[in-house]
Chain A
Amino acid sequence: MAAGNAKTLTKLVVATLGMFGFGFALVPFYYKICEVTGVNAGDEQALVKNTQVDATRWVTIQFDANVNEALPWRFKPEVRTLTVHPGQLVQVEYEVSNTSDKPIVGQAVPSYGPARAASYFKKIECFCFTPQTLAAGETRRMPVLFVLDPAIERELGTVTLSYTFFDTGPQAEAGRAKQG
């Protein structure tokens, strides 16, 4: 009988330890269940939804980059097109490099196609706001942060944002003087 008791004891102790482990196993199990069933999607619910994003439609934006012939720079967008919701905060980057052997100051001037899209482009941050000074041979990546106003007309399915860099430094002054 004593041997039988020891055997039963072993089984029950193993069961007890197993259930102690099971208590801890419930932790990952709980998170898995919540994930699979979406029960604890509380995190997403808690985030304030940006009600200004018009998720019902898409607008394609084309990014275009040009350099005035008098400026020895190279200038190109990181992506050529992007499809976004009106109201959505968008960030894109451009790359610009000075190919000459002296520092030059330039400034970008934006234009829009069609032109009436201009009033719907709300730029929050842009390299075009200030003149940019590039050292000889320097390459720089520059961001544009903008929101497309949700009031944008539905017919405007594609808009183009185009930048052109102009030389605004003393060389330009000199050039203008020579031309003049």
Chain B
Amino acid sequence: MSDVAHAHGHDEHGHHAHPTGLMRWLTTTNHKDIGTLYLIFALVMLFAAGSMALLIRAELFKPGLQLLHPDFFNQLTTMHGLIMIFGVIMPAFSGFANWQVPLMLGAPDMAFPRMNNWAFWLLPVAGILLMGSFLLPGGAVAGGWTMYPPLYIQGGISYDLTILAVHIMGLSSIMGSINIITTILNMRAPGMTLMKMPLFCWTWLITAYLLIATMPVLAGAVTMLLTDRNFGTHFFNAAGGGDPVMFQHIFWFFAHPEVYILILPAFGIVSQVIPTFARKPLFGYASMVYATASIAILSFIVWAHHMFTVGMPAAAQLFFMFSTMLIAVPTGVKVFNWVATMWRGSMTFETPMLFAIAFVCLFTIGGFSGLVLAIAPVDIQLHDTYYVVAHFHYVLVSGALFSIFAGIYYWLPKWTGHMYDETLGKWHFWLSVIGMNIVFFPMHFLGLAGMPRRIPDYALQFTEFNQIATVGAFIFGFSQLIFLAVVLKTVKGGAKATSKVWEGAEGLEWTVPSPAPYHTFETAPVVK
């Protein structure tokens, strides 16, 4: 305590003294520190949930039960999903927002630095609740990341812990969103109008609004689960007159906008990277902003396409089918704009650009398989098969995760002051992109042939494609160790990065030295 007071006293005089060691990180209100913490948390969780994926793939190498008890297999699929979404992708994007939004807007820090500290430090608590539940009697939750009743009403103590963890993570991301919206709306440098903002800030502004609109709905839904479990209510308990299908409607009202929460910041990162390495301004900036907003608005009226098989009138199926297909229009606008940005550009292919190009190609594949699934009669055949698994891994691995890699390689020199090892970066890229396609492309065929997801065993005819997928998974999984090595090496040392870092880089963050000083833009820059 006296440490903090002491440091605070110093702060009055000079800006460069702050607590050291653990207290520095626990008490920090600096947007760069908090951004770093978010990214470290996401990296740790990536390896935790990635190891679960490898265990799943190892079990699926052969038909029959080899390594894992089926119930433990179910725990792994559930926790892999929950952690990858709430523990990896969302915190990583929050890390980027913390680092980059103030730097891009010319703001000295986030609007509410202490709330920012809270928003981060809630996450490890939720992470411990989730991971710790593996050790409890009955093991971790095994009812799927979608938390459907009746399984989530019937399960043991770990289900209560998971519900609590979801509450905490929701609170964390709401606080983060409030911070980001307020920073973007109120703290832009003079002359930085909304339509001059880097697209990354636009996509995060819209994402933050989506979070404010949907996270509380999820909190309400899991609160109802909690009272059904412990306090005798019957919101979803059919035995007491409740309706389990209603949970699916409320859940997907949250979870469809959630999938755009997981991809819009990715669009933002890619929209920063591609113009830099194509050495051309982003093609169709305004249309990018409007497309992002359209996707966000449409995301609220498509949720039931996740539940075509629960039974609904044909008119409702048609509505959700066509509204889902409509989202392909603004998404197509974005893809064409990225391609047009590269068209006749002076392109170079450093690692961030490679990941961004892979993003454009592979995310588009995921988008197309999404269009296939949007067709209600086709979806009834493909529902809960590996085709769905292939689809959402194309948009989340080669979509969201690849954009995070692109962003890390792109901004790491600015954050650390050192260039990363380009050779190792290229190894990481090529092994990732090849491994990723070996894992997930055969899953399309498995799904079309009818292999159901979330089951530890399968019929013999699915063996070859599963073995290919497992080999790919181990290539992809272990190549992430290269990523870890690159990051650690860059943090420790390496060639000195210039303040501009990339020849084609544009924007306020490239006007500050590398590494970015602890405090930046204390006097706001003027944007012409």
Flag if A20 contacts B181 (CB, 8 Å): no
A37: chain B residues within 8 A (beta carbon): 313, 316
CA distance A15 to B217 in the complex (A): 12
What are the residues of chain B within 8 A of A38 when measuring CB–CB?
313
Residue B142 is within 8 A (CB to CB) of chain A in the complex:
no
**CB <8 Å contact, B246 and A8:** no
Considering the complex, give the chain B residue whose CB is closest to the CB of A4.
Answer: B186
State whether B212 touches A16 (Cβ < 8 A): yes
* Interface check B214, CB cutoff 8 A: yes
Pairwise interchain contact B246-A5, C-beta atoms closer than 8 A: no
Name 27 A/B residue pairs within 8 A (Cβ), A-sorted.
A5-B182, A5-B186, A8-B186, A9-B112, A9-B178, A12-B178, A12-B181, A16-B174, A16-B216, A17-B216, A19-B214, A19-B215, A20-B220, A22-B216, A22-B217, A23-B216, A23-B217, A23-B218, A27-B224, A27-B235, A27-B246, A27-B250, A30-B243, A30-B246, A37-B313, A37-B316, A40-B243
Q: Which of A56-104 contact B (CB under 8 A)?
A: none
Q: Closest CB-CB distance, B358 to chain A, in whole Å?
A: 36
Per-residue interface assignment for chain A, residues 24 to 35, with 1 indicating a CB less than 8 Å from any chain B CB and 0 otherwise: 101100110000
Report chain A residues within 8 Å CB of B186: 1, 4-5, 8
Please tell me if A151 contacts chain B, counting CB pairs below 8 Å. no
> In the complex, are the beta carbons of B313 and A8 less than 8 A apart?
no
A9-B112, A17-B216 known; A26 and B249 CB under 8 Å?
yes
B120 at interface by CB-CB < 8 Å: no
Q: Complex formed: what's the CA distance from A162 to B186 in Å?
A: 89
* Interface SS, B side: helix
Most buried by B among A1, A27, A37: A27
- The answer to the question of B187 belonging to the interface, with a C-beta cut-off of 8 Å to chain A, is yes
Question: Separation in Å of the A79 CB from the closest CB of chain B?
Answer: 35
9 closest A-B pairs by beta carbon, nearest first, are A23-B220, A20-B216, A19-B216, A23-B217, A8-B182, A12-B178, A4-B186, A5-B111, A30-B246
Given contacts A5-B182, A30-B249, 4 further A-B contacts (CB under 8 A): A4-B186, A9-B182, A12-B178, A20-B217
Q: Which residue of A lies closest to B254 (CB)?
A: A23
Interface residues in chain A, defined as those with a beta carbon under 8 Å from any beta carbon in chain B: 1, 4-5, 8-9, 12-13, 15-24, 26-27, 30-31, 37-40, 42
Closest beta carbon of chain A to B104's beta carbon, Å? 18
Q: Which of B182, B217, B235 contacts A19 (CB 8 A)?
A: B217
Chain B interface residue number, banded: 20 to 34
Q: Is B219 an interface residue (CB 8 A)?
A: yes
Chain B 45-60, CB-CB to A under 8 Å as 1, else 0, gives: 0000000000000000
Q: Is B126 interfacial (CB-CB < 8 Å)?
A: no
Which residues on the A side are within 8 Å of B253 (C-beta)?
Answer: 26
Tell me, rounded to whole Å, the shortest Cβ–Cβ distance linking B234 to chain A.
11
B221 at the interface (CB under 8 A from A): yes
* B424 at interface by CB-CB < 8 Å: no
Choose from B212, B219, B246 the contact partner of A15 (Cβ within 8 Å).
B212
Distance in Å: Cβ of A33 to nearest Cβ of chain B: 9
User: Per-position contact with A for B362-377: 1 when CB-CB < 8 Å, else 0?
Assistant: 0000000000000000
B112 touches A19 (CB 8 A): no
Q: Are B212 and A23 in contact (CB under 8 A)?
A: no
Q: Does B65 contact A (CB under 8 A)?
A: no
Nearest opposing residue in chain A for B178, CB measure? A12
Against A, the Cβ 8 Å flags (1 = close, 0 = not) of B304-328 are: 0000000111001000000000000
Q: Which residues of A contact B111 (CB under 8 A)?
A: 5, 8-9
* B380: interface (CB < 8 Å): no
Shortest Cβ distance from residue A21 to the other chain B in the assembled complex, whole angstroms = 8
Measured between beta carbons, the chain B residues less than 8 angstroms from A21 are 220
Q: Does B185 contact A (CB under 8 A)?
A: yes
User: Is A13 touching B250 in the complex (CB atoms < 8 A)?
Assistant: no
Are A26 and B313 interface neighbours, CB within 8 A? no
What distance in Å separates the Cβ of B443 from its nearest Cβ neighbour in chain A? 33
Nearest CB of B to A82, in Å: 34
Query: For the complex, what is the distance from the CA of A65 to the CA of B477, rounded to whole Å?
Result: 89
**Do the beta carbons of B250 and A26 come within 8 Å of each other?**
yes
Nearest B residue (CB) for A40: B243
CB distance from B240 to the nearest CB of A (A): 14
Q: Cβ of A39 and Cβ of B178 under 8 Å apart?
A: no
Contact with A along B159-190 (1 / 0, CB 8 A): 00000000000000010011001100111000
| Cβ 8 A contact of B212, one of A12, A24, A26 | A12
Query: In the docked arrangement, what's the CA distance between A37 and B254, Å?
Result: 23
CA distance A5 to B187 in the complex (A): 9
Which B residues are CB-close (under 8 A) to A19? Answer: 212-217
Min CB distance, A89 to chain B, in Å? 27
The chain A residue sitting closest to B186, CB to CB, is A4
Q: Please tell me if the beta carbons of B112 and A39 are within 8 angstroms of each other in the complex.
A: no
| CA distance in complex: A9, B216 (Å) | 16
Closest beta carbon of chain B to A9's beta carbon, Å: 6
A18–B112 Cα distance when bound, in Å, is 22
